[in-house]
Structure 1
């Protein structure tokens, strides 16, 4: 067998459960975020229906699913929030809610770790540095 015929590992998106899993996670996640006094002020003037759809599309792409994301870059999308004081402590709170959401949805620990590493890898972009 040649090297080109190797079986490709399923993406994190597929291993998490695909579209249904991403949709469920985003819905639970934003419930936690909007209940958190540390970060909910950043969403005061946000069209949450639109925001939910953006995050679902972004997470799908980030986790290796089909690319339907047409939003702004992470840096551009968060620039206004950085001007309002978005910092590492806020990013940490978001990471906390992502982990709690995935645990609540019974995602295996190794997949939570993979997802967290992907999100952590964009911290600098989100915080504009």
Structure 2
């Protein structure tokens, strides 16, 4: 049986640690922190861990809201999306995730860009 991206990332506990550090970075970024003003961050972290676990091929089904519905009223711009993705990439680097696996995670997240970015460029 071949090892999945989920396995290479270290499974749910490792992904949860990455997500925690990722949100530390996001919450310290004045450009994007306002998107999380009224967000239950414990719940957000759990959803993000579940989402990354699912897109990485883990034994997890993402049960959060549809991506477009969840982000529709936030008015996320392309530069803000890119800033958040950059935080994810830097966090994966910090956790010594190799380049191919970082690219795979970022590619999986990037597939949702059209559903998340709602402000025209």
TM-score (norm 2): 0.92
1:50, 1:25 → 2: CA distance? 15
1:116 matched residue in structure 2: 106
What stretches of structure 1 of length at least 5 have no aligned partner?
1-7
Which residue number corresponds to residue 30 of structure 1? 23
Q: How far apart, CA to CA, are the structure 1 residues paired with 2:51 and 2:106? A: 15
Point out where structure 2 has 5 or more consecutive residues left out of the alignment: none
After TM superposition, what 4+ stretches of structure 1 lie above 4 angstroms from structure 2?
none
The alignment covers a number of residue pairs equal to: 119
C-alpha displacement of 1:98:
0.5
Inter-partner Cα distance in structure 2 for 1:14 and 1:111:
11
Q: TM-score, normalised by structure 1?
A: 0.86
Greater Rg by CA: 1
Which deviates more from structure 2 when the two are superposed, residues 98-107 or residues 62-71? Answer: 62-71
Counterpart secondary structure, 1:70: coil
